[in-house]
Every structure is written in C-alpha cells, then in structure tokens.
Amino acid sequence: MSPRLLQGNEACALGALAAGCRFFGGYPITPSTDIAEVMARELPKVGGTFIQMEDEIASIAAVLGASVGGVKAMTATSGPGFSLMQENIGYAAMAEIPCVIVNVQRAGPSTGLPTSPSQGDVMQARWGAHGDHPIIALSPSTVREAFDLAVCAFNFSEKYRTPVILLMDEVVGHMRERTELPPTEMIEVVDRVQPHVPPAWYFPYEETSADVPPFASFGEGYRFHITGLFHDRAGFPTERLDEIQPWLERVFNKITRHMDDIIRFQEEWVDDAATVVVAYGATARSAREAVKIARQGGRKVGLIKLFTLWPFPGELFRRLAHDGKRFVIAEMNLGQLSLELERVVGRARVRGVHRADGRLITPDEILQTIRRRSGRTES
C-alpha cells in the first residue's frame, strides 16, 4: 500500500479492523476519542457495529457480550475510564473471554492532564483487577507499531482466550507519521478455536493439551454457563479444590508456556554494551536518540525497546545481568516497570529516568543518566 500520513490512534483503529474487529463499544475520553471516531465511521462499511455506551463500565460489558456472541470486540479509553473497567477485565480473565482494551494513557491521577502523555497505568494493567490471573499488555512507540500491535493484540486475545491490553500513550496516539501499512494478504489474522464436537459434548473450560479450550459462540446451538465465580469445566460455580486448582494452573500455563510467542522486543547495540537502556512507548524514541549520541561519544550503550510489558521478559534481563550488563530504564511515571526490572536483576544494577508531570522525557535526561551509569571506564 502507498504510504499515508497517519495518526497513531487512527493506525490503531485500522489495525483492529484488519485483525477482524467487528464490534466497538466505547465512551469518549481524551486522548483516545479518535479511535472511536474511526471505528464509528469504518465499522458499518464492513458489516460491523459501533455503539457509544453511557460510560466505560457499560462499554467493557458490551464488548464482553459481543465477544461471547462470536464477534471480535474492542474498546478504547484512557486512565480514568480504564480504572472503571477493571472489574469487568477481571471478569473476562475469569470467564476467558477474548477482547482488546486500548488505553491511551494520560497524566494522572484523577482527571490529571487530559492532553498530556503518561505511562502511569503500567502497574494497573497488570494488577488493576483483583485476584491472581495473567494478563498480556503491549506498547507501541511508532504509528506503524500501533497498527501492528493492534493486530497482534487481537491475535493473542483469540489464540489464548484472554483479555489483551494495548497500552498506548498520548504522544503515540496523537502524533502523525508517514506510514506504509502492509497489504491485507500479508497480515496474519488468528481466529479463536471453534469446538468440533456436538453441543451435548461441549465443555467451555475443558482441559486441553494447548491449555486453551475451544470457544463456542452463543446463538449457534451451544448452551453453556458463564460466571465470574470459580467454575467447573461446564462453567458452573464450584468450591471444589480439585476443580479450582487445575483451572488456576491452566489459565497461567496458557500464558507461561507460550512466552516465546508472546514476549516481543527489539534490541540494538546490546552485544557489546556495558549499559543497556530499557524503554517503551513514546519514551523509547527519546531513548534511542540518547543511545545513538552516547555511542557516538564512545560509550558502550545498547537499547532494548519493549513491545510486551506483561508478561514481563524477566528471563531476557536475567541473562543480560548474568553477562555483567547494567540498566537504565526510562518511563513516564515514577518507576513502575523499574520496580519489576529491579526485582529481576537486583536494585544495584538499575537506574531510572522518571517523570510524571505530563512531559515527554528528553534524550538529554536519559543521556545524563547513561553518563553517570557508564562512568569513566567508557569515556
């Protein structure tokens, strides 16, 4: 396809459509509203449905209902709306309902700075819903990545029967870049596994070798129960530990056994680096510039840009730490993913570059920390 001048939010919506999204339920909120506007315009053209709900709680509920009905479904919001969705995100994890939640982050807490960027919802994406369950969260740093990771989010959601969170930020959502999208035939699209047994033999939470049971659509002759309670293989509430524990193990296994598929990142100049800069989202753009300047000055510095934030790529960083590397992590919050990196490699190996005032971290701020981290041995 010919290059186009696209906004990040627009590319995200186009990626969702390319992945087969045919339902959007949402409520306007800065800085994500452009996604809803594109979906409202484009979904009817492909036989899909757009509904503006009365609030974010109703939006995610409508998305779950559409998904259970067999339609790939998405909503988009920002921090305050994301907070309101948490109970139903947990419900989707418990009931194993595929869906995609886009969060174009803005500065907070509360109303905060609606038109300013942030990466303050990273820990909320992982731990916002109560209870123990895995989650997949992805983060783009360019307009093209917003398209690609929207497709990826739907593929992961359908493949692993799980909610997937696409953590954008205001900078990525609102900036425009010359972007060439892939032709339709080159886009990999994954659909949920359908049952191949008669309705009377179907169990929606059956143990399978892949840890992901087939998911029948309501209205196609399969009658089954869905609940937010712990349930047996038929979906009915249970308090039997011999049914609860296998479910917990399976739901975590379907993510942990496929980490090589789910975890995605980009390395640059890491092999010879003594210090590795870690960043994601819009901050990764500043980080790459800082690393380039540092290397031009003779410092052995590398870059890891994370696309997958959750599950966290702990094994990657344990390996790099074992090789003697130290880390600088830059993020537009006061140290959310930094805490996870410190947990994995040890606090002494990590220095953070943080700000939560609604301003993008500059290359110079990162460069100053690189110089302190690197020391004279790399001057």
Average the pLDDT over 329-342 and give the result.
98
Residue 2 binned pLDDT confidence (cut-offs 50, 70, 90): confident
Tens of pLDDT, residues 288-310:
999 999 999 999 999 999 999 99
Average the pLDDT over 210-222 and give the result.
94
Average the pLDDT over 74-81 and give the result.
98
Considering the chain, what percentage of its residues have pLDDT values greater than 90?
Answer: 97
Residue 376 has pLDDT above 70, yes or no: no
Rounded to whole angstroms, the Cα distance separating 348 from 350 reads 6
Give pTM, 2 decimals. 0.96
Residue 194 has pLDDT above 80, yes or no: yes
Average the pLDDT over 19-34 and give the result.
98
Tens of pLDDT, residues 83-112:
999 999 999 999 999 999 999 999 999 999
Residue 188 has pLDDT above 70, yes or no: yes
Tens of pLDDT, residues 126-142:
999 999 999 999 999 99
Average the pLDDT over 219-228 and give the result.
93
Cα torsion through 17, 20, 25, 30, rounded to 10: -30
Architecture per CATH, domain 265-378, reads as 3-Layer(aba) Sandwich (3.40)
pLDDT at 378: 41
Domain with CATH 3.40.50.970 in the chain: 4-186
Arithmetic mean of pLDDT over the chain: 96
Query: CATH for 4-186?
Result: 3.40.50.970
Residue 281 has pLDDT above 90, yes or no: yes
Residue 373 has pLDDT above 90, yes or no: no
pLDDT at 316: 98
Residue 230 has pLDDT above 80, yes or no: yes
Average the pLDDT over 339-345 and give the result.
97
pLDDT at 374: 67
Residue 377 has pLDDT above 50, yes or no: no
Residue 170 has pLDDT above 60, yes or no: yes
Position with higher pLDDT, 374 vs 198: 198
Tens of pLDDT, residues 28-75:
999 999 999 999 999 999 999 999 999 999 999 999 999 999 999 999
Domain with CATH 3.40.50.920 in the chain: 265-378
Residue 375 binned pLDDT confidence (cut-offs 50, 70, 90): low
Under a CB-based contact definition with an 8 Å cutoff, are residues 102 and 78 in contact?
Answer: no
